[in-house]
């Protein structure tokens, strides 16, 4: 495995976490707490693996430069800012939400999960979007 493979792995982990999150949402709406818990723990584990790959990649390669020009630039950077701000927010929200569930405080868990889940999904989806835009659609050529 080469460092150049990491963006693809990172995007795949992001996508997989979104799948787990959506499955967890469906399971809890169906009243299946056992599968909900399994899916959410799966999302947490995949996101943890993502974070390891992401930090290693950033420490060894820096940040990708965006190669798009014209009107796509302000769109991309606005998109990127929402992704980064969401990622910062979920670093605190996810552990708190999980802690409340694992400690059996389900009322408080439900209240915060209503914000954590859509934000966590947004961060995963937008992370894949940033990857597609920087690696595939508008790679830096300079």
- What are the residue ranges spanned by the domains of the chain? 3-137
Could you give the 3-state DSSP secondary structure of residue 105? Answer: coil
pLDDT-derived band at 142, boundaries 50, 70, 90? confident
Distance CA 40, CA 75 (A): 31
Angle at 57 between CA 44 and CA 126, to 5 degrees: 55
The predicted-structure confidence for 106-133, as pLDDT tens digits, reads as follows 999 999 999 999 999 999 999 999 999 9
- Look at the domain 3-137 and name its fold: 1.20.120
The predicted-structure confidence for 32-70, as pLDDT tens digits, reads as follows 999 999 999 999 999 999 999 999 999 999 788 899 999
Q: Is 135 exposed, middle or buried (0-12, 13-18, 19+ CB in 10 A)?
A: middle
pLDDT-derived band at 1, boundaries 50, 70, 90? confident
Distance CA 96, CA 120 (A): 13
Distance CA 18, CA 107 (A): 24
Distance CA 77, CA 83 (A): 10
């Amino acid at each position: 495995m080469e460092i150049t493979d990491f963006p693809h792995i990172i995007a795949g982990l992001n996508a997989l976490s979104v799948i787990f999150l959506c499955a967890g949402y469906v399971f809890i709406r169906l009243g299946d707490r056992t599968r909900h818990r399994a899916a959410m723990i799966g999302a947490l584990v995949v996101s943890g693996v993502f974070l390891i790959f992401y930090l290693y990649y950033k420490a060894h390669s820096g940040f990708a430069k965006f190669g798009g020009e014209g009107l796509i630039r302000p769109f991309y950077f606005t998109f990127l800012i929402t992704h980064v701000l969401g990622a910062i927010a979920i670093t605190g929200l996810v552990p708190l939400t999980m802690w409340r569930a694992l400690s059996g405080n389900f009322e408080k868990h439900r209240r915060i999960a209503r914000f954590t889940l859509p934000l966590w999904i947004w961060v995963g989806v937008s992370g894949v979007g940033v990857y597609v835009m920087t690696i595939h659609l508008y790679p830096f050529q300079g």
